């Protein structure tokens, strides 16, 4: 098992790191300062200028679509190799989008690449790959416990050559962005089928009549504009029958294929965030004094910093091992590994970020530092793509399996 950087990816990681330092970080703060100028849900001319410039420079240098592993449409990296790049993109908020590696677009593009028809790829995948539009994935619902995806109740009924969709969705990340043009919607299309064959995934353009964004949902009182996490209704929404992805009743199959590599990407970006938080914590610890000593020498802060370093490194190794299992044994065998990292990494990141906030005092909670927003993002990861409890259940079941066999 080789979890180190390959000779192929090492210079690429260095180039990505240099691009983030020289191009992304200098405009990261300015982009978000622009949010308060006018309509928070519409990008200002300066925001468009920043994003267009970053994307153009990245594409000119060939730093584009790293996420699409093992595909001739992508960079040709495997999951372990891309994991190192994903970590770097966690160091600055705009980094992932600069390289066209932002969620939820990456997951949606992966679905279209793996399962979409040629017509679907031409209409929606290509403009996403070009970074011309954004997208969202609509699964979570306000009226059911969506951690059990079999509860999803939004209906899709085939009438002639059209699907008619009715229901309500919540916390649809990215649907607040005015560039969001397409949704992948999880629906109950075949209620009489077996439990995991009742749902389908259907492409719904945002401008389809009956699609309505009813409100933005805050996360820790932050609206996360202009990206947003939106509540939406679908009222007699009609789309062509060919907008279904892969086929009827195959929604769970698609989700499992989508969420494997995607969770590795999420976790490595979270590790990048934790590294940034540790960097800020260390700089604060040696630059500020209290009671005649540097903060580093007070209150057990040596232990805090040491534990942060060790926990980040352990989380990274577990995530890289998970990526290796995906590459060598496939997503199906990697399911319980994916559940391990999906539980471990967000909690490690949260602890490191929380300790960094503590080291900064009240200013750690303010807009002067990125720590509060980082905490919001890391805390969200304990729910996104499945809550901790579901993933721990997956791990425990796998661990207990041989003992249950022996007891029978």
Structure tokens at 98: 């600069």
Per domain, the residue ranges of the chain are: 10-103, 134-245, 252-407
User: Contact 141/152 with Cβ under 8 angstroms?
Assistant: yes
Q: Which fold has domain 134-245?
A: Butyryl-CoA Dehydrogenase, subunit A; domain 2 (2.40.110)
Residue 89 pLDDT more than 70? yes
Q: Which residues of 371-391 are buried (b: 16+ CB within 10 A; e: fewer)?
A: bbbbbbbbbbbbebbbbbeeb
Residue 406 pLDDT more than 80? no
Higher-pLDDT residue of 147 and 152 is 152
User: Contact 172/127 with Cβ under 8 angstroms?
Assistant: no
CATH no. of 10-103: 1.10.540.10
Q: Which fold has domain 252-407?
A: Butyryl-CoA Dehydrogenase, subunit A; domain 3 (1.20.140)
E strand intervals along 106-227: 134-138, 155-159, 162-173, 180-188, 199-205, 211-216
* Tens-place pLDDT, residues 377-386: 999 999 998 8
* Tens-place pLDDT, residues 199-227: 999 999 999 999 999 999 999 988 999 99
Q: In degrees rounded to 5, what are phi and psi of residue 230?
A: -105, 150
What pLDDT sits at residue 186? 97
Q: Which residues contact 236 (CB under 8 A, 6 or more apart)?
A: 164, 165, 166, 210
* Tens-place pLDDT, residues 49-64: 999 999 999 999 999 9
End-to-end CA distance of the chain: 35
| pTM above threshold 0.85 | yes
Nearest to 271 by CA among 367, 350, 168, 192: 350
Residue 408 pLDDT more than 70? no
What pLDDT sits at residue 70? 65
Nearest to 179 by CA among 249, 222, 132, 110: 132
Higher-pLDDT residue of 408 and 167 is 167
Mean of the pLDDT values across residues 88-100? 96
């Amino acid at each position: 098992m080789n979890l180190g950087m390959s000779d192929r990816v090492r210079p690429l990681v260095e180039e990505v790191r240099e691009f983030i330092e020289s191009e992304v970080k200098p405009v990261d703060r300015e982009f978000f300062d622009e949010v308060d100028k006018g309509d928070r849900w519409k990008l200002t001319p300066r925001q468009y200028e920043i994003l267009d410039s970053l994307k153009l420079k990245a594409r000119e240098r060939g730093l584009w679509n790293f996420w699409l592993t093992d595909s001739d449409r992508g960079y040709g990296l495997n999951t372990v190799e891309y994991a190192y790049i994903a970590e770097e993109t966690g160091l600055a908020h705009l980094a992932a989008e600069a390289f066209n590696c932002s969620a939820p677009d990456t997951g949606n593009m992966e679905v279209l690449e793996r399962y979409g028809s040629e017509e679907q790829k031409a209409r929606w995948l290509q403009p996403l790959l070009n970074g011309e539009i954004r997208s969202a994935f609509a699964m979570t619902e306000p009226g059911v416990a969506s951690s059990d995806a079999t509860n999803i109740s939004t209906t899709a009924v085939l009438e002639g050559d059209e699907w008619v969709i009715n229901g309500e969705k919540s916390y649809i990340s990215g649907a607040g962005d005015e560039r969001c043009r397409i949704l992948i919607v999880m629906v109950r299309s075949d209620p009489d089928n077996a439990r995991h064959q009742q749902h389908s995934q259907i492409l719904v353009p945002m401008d389809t009549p009956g699609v309505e964004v009813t409100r933005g949902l805050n996360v820790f009182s932050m609206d996360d504009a202009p990206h947003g996490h939106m509540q939406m209704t679908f009222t007699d929404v009609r789309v062509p029958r060919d907008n279904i992805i892969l086929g009827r009743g195959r929604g769970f199959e698609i989700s499992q294929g989508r969420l494997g590599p995607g969770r590795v990407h999420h976790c490595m970006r979270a590790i990048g965030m934790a590294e940034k938080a540790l960097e800020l914590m260390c700089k604060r610890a040696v630059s500020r004094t209290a009671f005649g000593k540097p903060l580093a020498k007070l209150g057990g802060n040596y232990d805090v910093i040491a534990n942060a370093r060790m926990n980040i490194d352990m989380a990274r190794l577990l995530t890289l091992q998970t990526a290796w299992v995906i590459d060598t044994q496939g997503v199906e065998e990697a399911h319980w590994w994916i559940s391990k990292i999906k539980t471990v990494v967000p909690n490690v990141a949260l602890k490191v970020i929380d300790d960094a906030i503590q080291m900064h005092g009240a200013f750690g909670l303010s807009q002067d530092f990125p720590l509060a927003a980082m905490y919001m993002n890391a805390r969200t990861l304990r729910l996104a793509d499945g809550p901790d409890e579901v993933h721990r259940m997956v791990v425990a079941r796998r661990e207990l399996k041989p003992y249950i066999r022996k007891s029978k």
